[in-house]
Amino acid sequence: MSLIVQKYGGTSVGTPERILNVARRVAKNHSEGNGLVIVVSAMSGVTDNLIKLAKEISTEPTAREMDVLLATGEQVTIALLAIALEKLGVPAVSFTGAQAGIVTDGVHTKARIKNIAPKMVKSALADNKVVIVAGFQGQTADGHVTTLGRGGSDLTAIAMAAAVKADLCQIFTDVDGVYTADPRMVPNASKIAELSYDEMLEMASLGSKVMQARSVEFAKKFKVVFEVRSSFNDNPGTIVKEETSNMEAVVVRGVSLEKNQAKVTIGGVPDKPGVAVRIFSALAAAAVNIDMIVQNVSAAGVTDISFTLNRDELPTARKTVEPIVRDIGATGFTAQEGIAKISVVGIGMRSHSGVAASLFEALAAAGVNIQMISTSEIKISVIVDEKEAPQGVKAAHDKFGL
């Protein structure tokens, strides 16, 4: 008998029928003798409807009250799932984030978990009840409702698993697990059985939109083993855990693609201290998220600085950078949309050389031109034309025998 935390997202609980399906799955796990904590999101569409309602009243609703409003979404789901379980004869009890003891800081709409005191949860588990916890929400130490922001329900599940010392945390979603590449793009992509936290982090931050990086980081910090799997079938998913020695035998774990990118290049930048900080602190102040930054060696005392960002943020970036270009005495700047980022990820790279060369070779053979390169210890990313990206991903996937 194991103690398992399971998380079901908005699609998995999107209708009464689907909630009953989840209940049947949970009932089966319970009948096998497992202790169960089930974390659920709001039914799909509910959160959007609540936001729409608030916007009909005010274009700028206050963050504190948005949290009070949105927290109702998950509260509806926990009650309905508990009702479904009790209909199937399974003892169940639902708790809001506050009742489950999830204490956060006071940063409304994107609070961080400070600690978990799951007294009611533990007591209900001891009574052999299935415990259902509202994801995405918590409460400050002085009793105000908070929400955890994007990916908050995954974070609730990982954090609950750490707090109750669960044997396993299962993240049920609408995909089967983490793949070596997007199966819609690479038909022979295969599901990865095991992945290290660091690899998952790189995948997560690279557009393999299975989980937000913050949940993976939390899992890594508290050594929570978790599995990403589908709520619509019984296939085993992808297990994410601390790296093991045999994980290193695989050089490249997967290939990911991030579209909708844009690139800004500031040309003729005087090569002296304090220039880069001028640019990037201004962008940070304007809340523009920068992804890759590339600066090459300078020639004749000037250099080019390039960075990539989400295409949606390009207008703000333009407005922010333009006056600085003049100030720092650069010769100009160009912005380009229609680019994409291809990355290969694998902790095996640390102990294998020639991975970059193999990637560049594969891209060249496929006729894909590389515009920018950036590498980390377990990842190599290249910027290419968005139109050439699909054949680039396929070529890389084939090259590394995934």
Distance CA 58, CA 44 (A): 23
Nearer to a copy of itself, 58 or 233 (CB): 58
Instruction: In angstroms, give the least distance from the CB of 126 to a copy of itself.
Output: 15
Quick one: 294 exposed, middle or buried, by C-beta within 10 A (0-12, 13-18, 19+)? middle
> Helix 213-221 crosses helix 152-163 at what angle (to 10 degrees)?
10
For residues 103 and 15, give the distance between their C-alpha atoms in angstroms, rounded to a whole number: 30
| Choice from 38, 82, 159, 389 touching a copy of itself (CB under 8 A) | 82
Least distance from C-beta 65 to a copy of itself, angstroms? 4
Using CB under 8 A, pick the residue from 28, 32, 45, 53 that binds a copy of itself: 53
Give the one residue of 62, 188, 281, 376 binding a copy of itself; rule: CB under 8 A: 62
**Is the dihedral angle over the CA atoms 260, 253, 191, 5 positive or is it negative?**
negative
Considering the complex, what minimum distance in angstroms separates the CB of residue 198 from a copy of itself?
39
Binding to a copy of itself in span 109-148, by CB under 8 A: 120, 143-145
Q: In the numeric block, which tokens belong to residue 395?
A: 């070529």
Contacting residue, 6, 29, 41, 99, with a copy of itself by CB under 8 A? 99
Question: Does residue 19 interact with a copy of itself by CB under 8 A?
Answer: yes
The residue from 2, 45, 48, 87 that contacts a copy of itself (CB under 8 A) is 87
Helix, strand or coil, per DSSP, at residue 94: strand
**Residues near a copy of itself (CB under 8 A), total:** 37
For residue 189, give the nearest of 215, 208, 205, 168 by alpha carbon: 208
Q: Is 69 in the site for a copy of itself (CB under 8 A)?
A: yes
Instruction: Determine if 37 is a binding residue for a copy of itself (CB under 8 A).
Output: no
- If one asks whether residue 96 binds a copy of itself (CB under 8 A), the answer comes out as yes
Q: Which of 256, 249, 257, 255 is nearest to 347 (CA)?
A: 249
Considering only residues 11, 21, 44, 72, which one is a binding residue for a copy of itself as defined by CB under 8 A? 72
- Residue 50 within binding range of a copy of itself, rule CB under 8 A: yes
- Torsion of Cα atoms, 298 then 301 then 307 then 311, to 10°: -130
* Choice between 96 and 308, CB closer to a copy of itself: 96
AA letter at 3:
L
Residues 6 or more apart whose Cβ sits within 8 Å of residue 138: 97, 98, 102, 103, 104, 111, 113, 145, 146, 147, 148, 156
Contacting residue, 1, 56, 184, 353, with a copy of itself by CB under 8 A: 56
Q: Does 51 bind a copy of itself (CB under 8 A)?
A: no
- Cβ-in-10-Å burial (0-12, 13-18, 19+) of 336 comes to middle
Burial 164-190 (b: 16+ CB within 10 A, else e): bebebbbbbbebbbbbbbbeebbeebe
Q: How far apart are CA 219 and CA 157, in angstroms?
A: 10
Q: For residues 46 and 340, which CB has a smaller minimum distance to a copy of itself in the complex? A: 46
Instruction: Supply the minimum distance, in Å, between the C-beta of residue 166 and a copy of itself.
Output: 22
Closer residue to a copy of itself in complex, CB, 93/372: 93
Q: Determine, following the binding rule CB under 8 A, whether residue 103 of this chain makes contact with a copy of itself.
A: no
**69 in Cβ contact with 137 (< 8 Å):** no
Q: Write down how long the chain is.
A: 402
Select the span of 27-35, 66-74, 246-254, 260-268 touching a copy of itself (CB under 8 A).
Answer: 66-74
Q: Is the dihedral of CA 137, 140, 144, 146 positive or negative?
A: negative
Q: Which residue lies nearer to a copy of itself by CB, 83 or 225?
A: 83
Q: Is 380 in the site for a copy of itself (CB under 8 A)?
A: no
- Span near a copy of itself by CB under 8 A; candidates 78-86, 233-241, 303-311, 365-373: 78-86
Kindly list the residues in this chain that would bind a copy of itself in the complex (CB under 8 A).
16, 19-20, 50, 53-54, 56-58, 60-62, 64-66, 68-69, 71-72, 75-76, 78-80, 82-84, 86-87, 93-94, 96, 99, 120, 143-145
